[in-house]
Amino acid sequence: MNITDIVNRDIVNLTNCESEPIHIPGSIQPHGFLLGLKGQNQVIDFCSANSAEFILLSPEMLLGKSLTEIFDKNQADNFIVYSIENQIDPAKPFVFTLNDIPYNTTVHQSGDTLILELEPFPDGTLDLPNLYSQTKNFVSSMERQSYLPELCADIADQTRNITGYDRVMIYRFDAEYNGEVIAESKREDLESFSGQKYPHTDIPAQARELYIKNQLRMIADINYQPVPILTLNSVGDKDNKSLDLSLSILRSVSPIHVEYLKNMGVGATLTISLLQNNKLWGLIACHHYSPKVLPHYTRLSALLQGHFLTSQIAVREVAEEFEISVSVDKALLDSLELLHENENFIEENFESPSLLKLANATGFVIYHKGKLYKNGNVPSNEELVPLLKFLSENYQNRGLHTEQLIDIYPQGESLSKFAAGIIYHSIAAGTPDGILWLRAERRETINWAGNPHKAVIHNEEGVARLSPRKSFELWLEEVKDKSAAWRKSELGSSSNFAYSIQKHINLRYVRSQENKNRLLNDELKAANKELANLNWISTHDLKEPLRKIQIFASKILDREQPDISAQVKDSVERMRFAAEKMQLLIEDILSYSKAGNMEKVYETVDLNLILQKVLEELNDNIDEKKALITSAELPALSVIPFQIHQLFVNLLSNAIKFSKEEKNPAIVIDVQIVTGNQILKERTEANALLPFYAVSFQDNGIGFEKEYESRIFDVFQRLHPANKYPGTGIGLAICKKIMENHGGYITADSEPGEGSRFTLYFPFENEG
């Protein structure tokens, strides 16, 4: 039989202490013994080396055997029923009896091993707790004590009465897992640890994880000798076996922790975890100054005290927060009332006491348009302005709160007298304008149980290792440059007020612009009136003289008087042509103006009917150029009919006009359904999934350069010489304006000599 132990012999030093495998020590405490069963036959695969001390059966006699070979059949069968996973209850341990001695047996699963931990109680007494009395005492304390510290003191007293330990402490962790004794019950002759703090190194991270998994931990005798756990190694086994004892009652203790407790002079301990939101909030730490084995049911009574306290932690903390929030909310309402009633709040009410109370601050500052408005105890302007500029540059889009300003603003150490802690909110992005609540430094003396900085020592070889502190004498540390912590209600209140002051400032700005806007509107109305007059002049006063010029020029040219020289005739012809061109330009400008300003009356119209009327209107041009125009079936849409008519006229006229000399114009009108993301990638205003009708006009004309595909829709944009291709350069601008009126788009796609394609995109919402 090849028996070996699974003791973990890793050396604990500074480089691995934080990952010390304390959950697999491979040994147990000696006040009980351990069996590990595997398989359906419940064969003993693990056994502690001290089994013979309890049941007169050595590991050699147990390993490889089934329970039925060790205990009588009745007990073994009953245990099989008990050990079904959903029936295991730690509060009701199974009882084995051997040699007339009963053993409380706590059972849990560890991987594929069923672990049995057997503790004897030779007198056969279960020592069941008086749950009624215990619950009654707790309810009485709960009703009597309004605040958490007082309730903790009662729990400490009751736990000590139940367990009989020399000292019981309630121990609370801060954010860094430094612990503080907030309540204590002890023998009168013992020195008090109340109020003392213990550094986070006293309880490493992996130990805290075990406290979460296993909420009750007992060390019966600090001076115990660890009992190895033995197992059978089969021939050919290459991997060393280990056993996870995270949930074990008997699990052996880290050598560092044992040394730590010895340095404190402690003989035995019981530790109960206090959890909140699956995190370790604190501990009930029980110390005895001699060995002490606590019976199973007494341990459960102590654990129940922990559950009682845990149930009240959140309730009491919320109650304390509520009392503060009531005061803070009242101050916030008072401040908001002043803000809403006074347009000049910043200048006239910045010294209101409610502004300090809403965050329980000692100072308050608003920096607005280069001026500081200060309330309470605040630093000088020379110190505040650089701070506000730093905050605006680094925390522009988010608020900031801190209890230790020098952590983020090292040059502000001199500010601690007024602003060790701050709440900051920007009130105007891109500027130093902001709002500050300040808290003065709260110098604090921390009562450490020994020097927390002496956790690391060097051995004779000079190797650093984590060492339990040898001295627990009171060690005082003064904390500077730090304020009291900001509470949630204070942060919420200040954030609400900062948001309101931003709205207030914006509203003031809007109001200040109202008069300017009113004057500007009057000026715009006058300008629009002048433009309307210009339109009238263009329509009547300019067009009429131009018509007369054309008529008189025609009469002169028609008479063919011999006394008129050819030079005069040429000048008159040029004058008539210029008048015609100016008249055409005026008409196009008026058309462009009307496209944007006329009342938009939509009708559901079949676009095929509009196209038919346009073709009839352009019939002479089509015949002259021998153009071939084909069209797909167009949809019926809700449009402004005369504008769509003008749109089709402009596009078809251009396609006929800009044709190649050697080719007859061929124009194809087509329609497709597309989505917004198929129109133009840069057209962010087009919803990517919105459907559009795409009506395209494809010609075989002269085309134009790619660079003009967007510029061609600008007013007066001409790409070809006017003497060869007459026009004003406004037609396509009118087309773009018409498509904008219909919530659509127009695009151009062309290459020189390859023709052009103009596409109109009508949204489905215009569908008839």
What does the longest C-alpha to C-alpha distance in the chain come to? 154
The CA distance from 172 to 174, in Å, is 7
CATH code, 344-441 = 3.30.450.270
Query: Where is 337: in which H helix or E strand?
Result: helix 296-341
| Nearest-angstrom CA–CA distance, 339 and 634 | 61
| The two domains 344-441 and 600-766 share their CATH topology (first three levels equal) | no
Map tokens 């730093």 to a residue.
Answer: 390
CATH placement of domain 3-120: 3.30.450.20
Spell out the long-range contacts of 103-112 with Cβ–Cβ below 8 A and sequence spacing 24 or more. 103/32, 103/54, 104/295, 104/296, 106/249, 106/296, 107/82, 107/83, 108/247, 108/248, 109/85, 110/36, 110/243, 110/244, 110/245, 110/246, 110/247, 110/248, 111/244, 112/38
Residue 699 confidence (pLDDT): 93
Q: Which residues of the chain have pLDDT under 70?
A: 1, 10-20, 85-87, 122-132, 142-143, 146, 234-240, 443-479, 512, 515, 524, 526-553, 555-557, 559-564, 566-570, 572-574, 576-600, 678, 680-689, 715-729, 765-768
CATH number of 600-766: 3.30.565.10
Gap between the Cα atoms of 559 and 572, Å rounded: 13
Q: Specify the pLDDT at position 698.
A: 94
- Tokens encoding 437: 């609540």
pLDDT tens per residue, range 396-407: 777 889 988 888
Spans of all domains in the chain: 3-120, 344-441, 490-597, 600-766
pLDDT at 696: 93
Cβ 52 vs Cβ 130: under 8 Å: no
DSSP symbol at 303: H
Q: CA distances (Å), 739 to each of 206, 235, 375, 438, in order?
A: 70, 88, 59, 58
- Residue 18 has what pLDDT? 56
